[in-house]
Structure 1
Amino acid sequence: MKPTKSFFKPIGIALLLATIFSCSTVAQTPDTAITVHIDLNKTGQVIENIGASGCWFSEGIGKYWPAEKKEAIARLLFSKQKDKLGNPLGIGLSAWRFNIGAGTAEQGDSSGIKDFRRRSECFLSPNGNYDWNKQAGYQFFLKKAHDYGVETLIAFSNSPPIQFTRNGLGYKTEKDFTSNLKADAYSAYANFLAKVISHFDSEGLHFSYISPVNEPQWDWSRPYMQGDQEGTAWKNDEIYHVVNELNGVLNKEKLNTKILISEAGMLNYLYSGSGNSTNQIQRFFGTNSSLSVKALNHVPPTIAGHSYFTETTDSAMVATRSQLADTAKKYGVNFWQSEYSMLADGFKEGSNGDRSAIDCALFLAKVIHSDLTDGNATAWQFWNAYEPGSADFNTRYYLIALNPKPDFKDGEFTVTKNLWALGHYSLFVRPGMVRVLTGTAPATQSKILVSAWKGANNKLVIVAVNRGTTDTKVNLDLKNATKKYKTLSTYLTNRDKSVNMQASQNKYTPGVLLPARSISTFVLD
């Protein structure tokens, strides 16, 4: 969870002046249908994973909720299977983010974190002993992710363990934008993270990535953030320090987990800014930078950032991601969008009233589309898989809406349209698939967003979002296909509560229909 107020300054006049919105190459034909040109020889980035986080609320669900409920939630998130009619049973996430707690749960009310559900246990006790029975609920979902074959498991930390922090708390209380980690505890923190990785390796649960720093730019001492969750700021040199220490420990312990940096709180911090944790692509991957991590063998050429607060307008959204993509390409770096939910008010799109579930799902799909096609993201991860809230309106923070009992030891859950919106990408755009370029067009000319993805044997996946209020005919103009497509499987989500990635299969024809206010995935084989 992140700041719930839009307190950030405008990103810059250049972003506000940007007017080009990436969607698909479209052309109005005499019969008013839209033609989408897809050249299979023109490709973009290779997808590494599409996933979500199970922070905070995993503990109560996984530890206490009845087996049939938590098993059903796991199936919705991780299953790649379909029912007898071909309808997906889940969204087949290919990444799962596991929160390594700091020990605020053991502190109880003295932790300063008001909501007990957002306090996290720590595997390491202040006396130096490890208890691997801690975070039992989190571990339930981690094991389920593994059992369902989720390809990439990611461990992340919002705060070092409380015994290593300057103030003995799991969040920063001083407004100085520096780390809460004690100056003499960098080695201890790195050894703690390595110990966690090593333990789970021994359990057959391998973390492909460890993320030691989260949203280093935020002032965690702000009144409406303080006591909200675990968290701390980090300066770039402090990030380098902890990454360098961790790289050394991973080598010493012969662990092959990669280090993910830097989980920037907004995307523009990755390539611009004037603070102590900005311009992070240049600082961490610049050849002549004193903070370059390029020589650290556990740090891949990957930078991670969060898409919060950069989607207020279509033009700003595209400009931010396009500039990020250009900078990442210049420095030879892959970009991961590693955390997003609709924290800012951009999802309202000018409306003063409640936004319906399909409104939120369409906005989410628009952000995913832009991150992938404008930002060239090689990975995309949602925050948070489940949280308490309505499944019908303003579903901005979660994929699954929880209605828990006060003690959080039981409750009910409802699937939102957001789950299926993400599923249109996660279930079908699998690791190793490559994006097929489909061009660009001004946003004012079309509410249609199309991305295309090529897999093994030239299998083609097309995700199409119709944000408009009318049904739209689309002609698929495929060029340089090396096979003749015979079948067209369609998966549809719209405002109808019973239509959630509803499947149908037909003989392939180039003409398809995009119903109003809907998301469709087409699989050509």
Structure 2
Amino acid sequence: MKNKNLYNVLAILLLLVLSIAACSNSNDDLSDGGGTSSDYLTITLKPSTVYQTIHSFGASDAWSTQFVGKNWPLAKRNQIADYLFSSETDDNGQPKGIGLSTWRFNIGGGSDVQGSDSGISDEWRRAESFLTSSGYNWDAQEGQRWFLQAAKERGVNEFTAFSNSPPIVLTKNGKAHSSGGSSANLDAANYNSYADFLANVIENIRDNEGITFNYISPFNEPQWDWTGGQEGTPWLNSEIAAITKILDSKIESKNLNTKIEIAESAQLNYLYEDSNKSGRGSHIQEFFDASSSNYVGDLNNIAHKICGHSYYTTSGNTTLINTRQGVKDQIQQTDSSLEFWMSEYCLLENNSQVEGNGRDLGIDPALYLGKVIHTDLTVANASSWQWWIAVSPYDYKDGLVYIDENKFDGEVYDSKLLWALGNYSYFIKEGYQRINLNRSDNKSIEQSIDGLLVSAYKKPDDSKYVVVLVNQRTIDIPINVKIDGKSNYSGKLYQTSAESTDNLSPKESIDNSTVWSIPARSIVTVVVE
């Protein structure tokens, strides 16, 4: 009997231990840093420690706007433009759009006139050109010019013109894609003509459209061979440097207020290493190290920044973080004043967290996007962040706004990808600075990368603070936000979640004492004024 009683006591004790352990584990999940059920995560902003200055958030007009901007009903064009560019709110304080602050205009190579002979089977990926075999046609690219004006009318004040291929009248093979090899589809004899063409486009858009391109980007993803499927050409670093120097003189002679942006590296690691693309990588050192034979950093009209694309460097957290740390470290080593701009990205990857194929208007790809943006901004110190195609007709995770694949009319669909980008772009404006913060759980980027991500920004005069929180977890997380030097403040929450009505939607007001919960699988922006 005694043994039986002893066993009962031991059994009860074991159950108590297991219950306590289970409660402890459960409570660990209630915040990103553990604790008891009454605990919350405190985020303390440190405004005196400043990192990079933010210039812009944006997207490009490739390729759909050539049809949508020209042919679609005006009301639907305006709805798309509002989604992308509007900084207005409705009567309930709901943002009408995501307030993009920069817009990329694709200077086409002219593959559209070649039809199926272009080597580009998808007609949506063929592009018009201002330069034809008969000379300049400034009436071309009408649909894209409509969106330029729509962006300007809604407050966008930064514009970049980018070229994927020189015009077909200048290329080696008469196509807007390469026939193979690692060098450009452009003879050296036509370098001057290509620079003339780019300068003439800048000048014409300024004079006829009233829009100044702040930047001209003559080269796109030079590491890829671009043998068909869309407009493009490879470029050797030596070719990029030679044309950049010629274009610099053209801009100077025309007195254009435009800077040259280089070099749109296809992957971020190509910014600091050649990898498998000899002579086409290491862009930071090649173009901004004064000892390099391809140095262009001293040109009068070169933008003091290096541009790269986040593609194929987000799969696996070690790759995601280390690649961006590599960009930051190489800039510090070569020229610490050089800015990094992430100038193109969409969800191309296929991995355990996301698959590029298949249109998905929901929250899952939006959270993946939030993680990429966060890491680009907080590890690589990106000063600008730009999406690829703003308007997509495709069954792919490449759009912000989606449309039916129809050149003349169809339905318009917003997406959680759109609104997730808006959690950054609507609130963080030109001149804002990223600032330091402390987490009460003391988690590093490596420890929090699949959990709760937090970044903070301020207006230079300290009159406004923006905190963006990306909760990738399946639980709500209680939060309190403090600001060093401010004993009291008032703020507002804006939320994007899986709920159909939660699209950058205004939520509760808070102050420094408020403990509020960020919902599971959501992105919340805190705005303090």
Please report the TM-score for the alignment, with normalisation by the length of structure 2: 0.88
* One-letter code aligned to 2:250: V
Displacement of 1:111 after TM fit?
1.2
- The letter of the residue matching 1:490 is L
Output the CA distance in 2 between the equivalents of 1:369 and 1:238: 34
- Is contact 1:86-1:504 (8 Å) kept? no
Partner of 2:307: 304
Corresponding residue for residue 517 of structure 1: 521
Cα distance in structure 2, aligned partners of 1:356 and 1:248: 46
Counterpart of 1:421 in structure 2: which amino acid? A
1:396 aligns with 2:410: no
1:41 corresponds to 2:48? yes
Q: How far 1:509 sits from its partner (Å)? A: 3.3
How many Å apart are 1:490 and its aligned residue?
1.0
In the alignment, what sits opposite 1:134?
Answer: 140
Which residue of the partner structure matches residue 64 of structure 2?
A: 57
- What is residue 85 of structure 1 aligned with on the other side? 92
Alignment of 1:241-390 (within 5 A): 241-274=242-275, 275-330=278-333, 331-332=335-336, 333-346=338-351, 348-349=353-354, 357-389=362-394
Are 2:449 and 1:448 aligned? Answer: no
What's the counterpart of residue 75 of structure 1? 82
Residue by residue over 1:234-285, the C-alpha shift from the partner in whole angstroms, topping out at 9 and shown as x without a partner, is 0000000111110010001111100000000000000012511111100101
Q: Could you say what the CA RMSD is over the residues aligned between the two structures, in angstroms?
A: 2.0
Label 1:64 to 1:480 Cα distance change in 2 as closer, same or farther (>3 A): same
Asked if 1:100 corresponds to 2:107, the answer is yes
The residue type equivalent to 1:412 in the other structure is: E
C-alpha distance in structure 1 between counterparts of 2:266 and 2:80, whole Å: 28
Other-structure match for 1:411: 410
Identical residues among aligned pairs (%): 40
Q: Quote how far apart the aligned CAs of 1:300 are.
A: 2.1
Offset, 1:396: 1.7
Q: Distance in 1 between matches of 2:243 and 2:355?
A: 42
Unaligned runs of 5+ in 2: 1-30
Q: Which residue of structure 2 aligns with residue 150 of structure 1?
A: 156
Residues in 1 aligned to 2:356 and 2:256: alpha-carbon distance in whole angstroms: 50
| Greater mean deviation of Cα atoms: 349-358 or 422-431 | 349-358
Match of 1:19 in 2: none
Q: Label 1:83 to 1:459 Cα distance change in 2 as closer, same or farther (>3 A).
A: same
Report if aligned partners of 2:347, 2:355 keep a CA contact under 8 Å in 1: no
Q: Do the aligned residues in 2 keep the contact of 1:347 with 1:360 (CA within 8 Å)?
A: no
User: Within 2, Cα distance between the matches of 1:206 and 1:244?
Assistant: 21
Query: What CA deviation, in whole Å up to 9, does each residue of 1:284-303 have, x standing for no partner?
Result: 01021111112201112200
Q: 1:402 to 1:355 in 2, by over 3 A?
A: closer
Residues 350 and 32 of structure 1, relative CA distance in 2, 3 Å threshold: farther
Q: Is the 8 A contact 2:54 2:430 kept in 1?
A: yes
Which amino acid is 2:243 matched to? Answer: V
CA contact 2:358–2:397 (8 Å) conserved in 1: no
Q: CA deviation at 1:113?
A: 1.0
CA–CA separation in structure 2 for the residues paired with 1:350 and 1:119: 25
Partner of 2:188, secondary structure, is coil
2:498 is matched by which residue type in structure 1?
R
Counting matched residue pairs gives 486
Residue pair 1:33, 1:472 contacting (<8 A) in 2 also? yes
Does the 8 Å contact 2:268/2:324 carry over to 1? yes
Offset at residue 505 of structure 1 (A): 4.5
Out of 509, 521, 525, the position equivalent to 1:506 is 509
438-447 or 245-254: bigger deviation: 438-447
Q: Does structure 1 conserve the Cα–Cα contact (< 8 Å) formed by 2:53 and 2:433?
A: yes
Distance 1:280 1:354 in 2: 33
Q: Which has the larger radius of gyration?
A: 2
Please tell me the residue identity of whatever aligns with 2:157: E
CA distance in 2, matches of 1:497, 1:379: 29
1:458 aligns to what SS in structure 2? coil
> Would you say the 8 A contact 2:359–2:394 is kept in 1?
no
CA distance in 1, matches of 2:299, 2:355: 46
- Within the candidate set 193, 213, 228, 2:219 is matched to 213
Q: Match of 1:273, as an amino acid?
A: D
Tell me the CA shift for residue 438 of structure 1.
2.4
Residue 192 of structure 1 aligns with an amino acid whose one-letter code is F
What's the secondary structure of 1:133's corresponding residue? coil
1:32 Cα offset (Å): 3.1
Worse overlay, 296-305 or 438-447: 438-447
Give distance in 2, aligned partners of 1:442 and 1:416.
Answer: 27
Q: SS of the residue aligned with 2:492?
A: strand
Tell me, yes or no, if the aligned pair for 1:348 and 1:355 is still in contact at 8 Å: no
Is the Cα contact below 8 Å between 2:272 and 2:284 reproduced in 1?
Answer: yes
**Structure 1 residues 449-501: Cα deviation after superposition (integer angstroms, max 9, x where no partner):** 011010144310011010000000012132134x842x211110100111111
Deviation at 1:508, TM superposition (A): 1.6
Partners in 2 of 1:58 and 1:172 — Cα distance? 25
2:63·2:389 contact (CA, 8 Å) conserved in 1? no
Residue 323 of structure 1, CA deviation: 1.2
Is the 8 Å Cα contact of residues 38 and 438 (structure 1) preserved in structure 2? yes
Deviates more, 1:303-312 or 1:431-440: 431-440
Residue aligning to 2:497? 494
1:165 aligns with 2:171: yes
Cα distance, 1:350 vs structure 2: 9.1
Quick one: which amino acid aligns to residue 33 of structure 1?
Answer: Y
Query: What corresponds to 1:117 in structure 2?
Result: 124
| Contact 1:361–1:418 (8 Å) recurs in 2 | yes
- The equivalent of 1:232 in structure 2 is 233
Q: Does 2:427 correspond to 1:428?
A: yes
1:349–1:161: structure 2 CA closer, same or farther, 3 Å change rule?
Answer: closer
Q: Within 2, Cα distance between the matches of 1:373 and 1:352?
A: 28
Partner Cα distance (1:466, 1:516) in 2: 6
Residue 347 of structure 1: how far off its partner (Å): 7.0
